[in-house]
């Protein structure tokens, strides 16, 4: 298959081992811009992105997701949904989580494009995170994404369902 996008998508993987090396400001700026440009329902942009690099901030996040590998990342981006701003469909379905997911994947692809590793993390203690970062009830943390240089060149194989299991002509 030809195309740069598929190469980028193919190169992104969940990186769970990081070098103790800071992320350059230009690379972080590139990631931020890619997140800012993400689409959202009715263009509400119902999100907040916290760049967490300080020792205090890192320790707060690390107490919400206690896996040794997670501690090694030089920075994290904490993504939250602002429920007061999200679009809600007529049948009551809120769309903030969908919007946030798009921004997070922009983040991960932008990081890969800059030669950086990243990993979606949703299995964290969201209640604790909300408290530690002083979020109001209308704000919900949905993903923590560590970002940094991968400490290994080994990229795990992509295990995915086959096309015929996923796509159907109707």
In the complex, the residues that contact ligand FMN under the rule CB under 6 A are 13-14, 119-123, 156, 158
Smallest separation, CB 26 to ligand FMN (Å): 25
Based on CB atoms, which residue is closest to ligand FMN, 14 or 138? 14
Smallest separation, CB 55 to ligand FMN (Å): 23
In total, the chain counts a number of residues equal to: 170
Please, what sign has the CA dihedral across residues 120, 101, 44, 65? negative
Based on CB atoms, which residue is closest to ligand FMN, 24 or 63? 63
Tell me how crowded residue 146 is: count the other CB atoms within 10 A of its CB.
Answer: 28
Based on CB atoms, which residue is closest to ligand FMN, 90 or 158? 158
User: Residue 23 forms beta bridges with which residues?
Assistant: none
CA distance 160 to 19: 28
Based on CB atoms, which residue is closest to ligand FMN, 43 or 123? 123
| DSSP single-letter state for residue 74 | S
Tell me how crowded residue 155 is: count the other CB atoms within 10 A of its CB.
Answer: 13
Nearest residue to ligand FMN on Cβ basis: 123
Smallest separation, CB 25 to ligand FMN (Å): 26
Q: How far is CA 22 from CA 18, 49, 63, 83, in A?
A: 10, 19, 21, 33
Smallest separation, CB 11 to ligand FMN (Å): 10
């Amino acid at each position: 298959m030809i195309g740069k996008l598929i190469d980028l998508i193919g190169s992104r993987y969940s990186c769970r081992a990081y070098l103790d090396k800071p992320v350059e400001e230009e690379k972080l700026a590139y990631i931020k811009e890619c997140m800012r440009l993400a689409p959202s329902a009715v263009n509400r942009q119902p999100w907040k992105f916290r760049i967490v690099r300080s020792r205090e901030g890192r320790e707060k996040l690390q107490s919400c997701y206690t896996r040794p590998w997670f501690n090694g990342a030089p920075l994290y981006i904490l993504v939250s949904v602002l429920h007061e701003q999200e679009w809600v469909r007529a049948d009551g379905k809120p769309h903030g989580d969908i919007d946030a997911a798009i921004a997070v994947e922009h983040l991960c692809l932008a990081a890969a494009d800059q030669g950086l590793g990243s990993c979606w993390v949703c299995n964290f203690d969201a209640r604790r995170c909300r408290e530690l970062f002083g979020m109001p009830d209308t704000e919900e943390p949905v993903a923590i994404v560590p970002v940094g240089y991968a400490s290994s060149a080994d990229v795990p194989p992509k295990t995915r369902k086959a096309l015929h299991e996923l796509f159907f002509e109707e």
